[in-house]
């Protein structure tokens, strides 16, 4: 992750590795932003990063790779800071430096991320989609549920 990043970024970024749930909650509470990087490959396109809604719920900015369909849920500069997918250390560094240098914009992106969460992932948003899916599960005219 740090290869090719400027020293000022290295000084302010913490890589924690695996954390217990309790330690993760503590770190998330004090974090200024979250970074969720993906390659745009077959595996990444098939998986949804389940941490994304959790990060968006904090109201803090999320730096996110433009991989798969993630851009369908967020908009660069409005609800996330979107960087190119893959090994792009300069783009990662630019995103970190930009958000740190523009705290008002970072706060606005964080608020926009929380709004995107409510629009895309809330029970109110997903409930009707789930109900429609389940109502479509009919086996020869009988309810499958």
Residues 6+ apart with CB under 8 A from 119: 125
> Which pTM value belongs to this model?
0.78
Q: One digit per residue, pLDDT tens: the chain, 145 residues?
A: 445 556 666 677 777 788 899 998 999 899 999 998 888 888 888 888 888 999 999 999 999 999 888 878 899 999 999 999 988 888 888 999 899 889 999 999 999 999 999 998 888 888 998 888 888 886 545 555 5
Return phi, psi of residue 83, to 5°. Answer: -115, 160
What sign for the dihedral angle of Cα 124, 128, 131, 133? negative
């Amino acid at each position: 992750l740090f290869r090719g990043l400027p020293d000022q970024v290295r000084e302010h970024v913490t890589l924690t590795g695996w954390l217990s749930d309790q330690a993760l909650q503590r770190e998330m509470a004090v974090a200024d932003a979250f970074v969720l990087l993906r390659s745009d490959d077959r595996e990444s396109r098939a998986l949804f990063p389940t941490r994304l809604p959790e990060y968006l719920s904090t109201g803090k900015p999320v730096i996110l790779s433009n991989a798969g369909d993630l851009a369908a849920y967020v908009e660069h500069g409005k609800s996330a800071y979107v960087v190119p997918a893959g090994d792009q250390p300069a783009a990662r560094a630019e995103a970190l430096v930009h958000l740190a240098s523009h705290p008002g914009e970072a706060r606005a992106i964080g608020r926009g991320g929380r709004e995107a969460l409510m629009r895309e992932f809330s029970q109110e948003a997903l409930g009707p989609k789930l109900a429609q899916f389940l109502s479509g599960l009919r086996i020869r005219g009988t309810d499958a549920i």
